[in-house]
Amino acid sequence: MATIQVGDKAPDFTLKSQTGETVSLKDFAGKPVIVYFYPKDDTPGCTAEACAFRDSYQVFQEAGATVIGISSDSTDAHQKFSSKYQLPFLLLSDQGNRVRKAFGVPATLGLLPGRVTYVIDQAGVVRHVFNSQFNFKGHVEEALRVVKELQTA
């Protein structure tokens, strides 16, 4: 399993969203995309992270960036999670962990699905990778910092 790193082209993927729509990474060509992998809907850490992305969503939008959360939860679970916390961004269902494996997201302690955020630029190149299982807000802070840098580049 190769790990996607800064400077690599992000692997394209196609998954179902919480609304049942089919979403591909290539749909967002020409704009920055934040793809964050998280372990499980409606758990304390994942809720804190999702709500932090929600609370900064307007800033991401103003920077022209799209936020996408991915876990192995079902589209139904994503829909409930999204509604419960009024999440304005896409949550994609990677039930076979195919996309998680394509990005090389490591497991924590070999068991828990990893929490990694990728900032992908307008050309589809990974510009930043933030890997922290427990620094939930750090994922949002780092992504915002890099997206702002991309705006001025």
Domains and CATH numbers, the chain: 38-152 (3.40.30.10)
Q: What is the pLDDT of residues 137-147, one digit of tens each?
A: 899 999 999 99
Does the structure show a pLDDT above 90 at 40? yes
| pTM of the predicted protein model | 0.95
Sheet with 116-120: strands ordered across: 22-24, 14-17, 90-93, 66-71, 33-37, 116-120, 126-131
Question: Which residue among 10, 34, 46, 65 is the active-site one?
Answer: 46
Does the structure show a pLDDT above 90 at 121? yes
Does the structure show a pLDDT above 80 at 2? no
Strands 126-131 and 66-71: unpaired
| Three-state secondary-structure class, residue 16 | strand
Query: Which two structure tokens, joined as six digits, stand for 93?
Result: 């269902």
Beta bridge partners of 94: none
Sequence letter at residue 11? P
Q: What is the pLDDT of residues 74-119, one digit of tens each?
A: 999 999 999 999 999 999 999 999 999 999 998 877 778 999 999 9
Sequence letter at residue 45? G
Task: Judge whether 46 counts as a catalytic residue.
Answer: yes
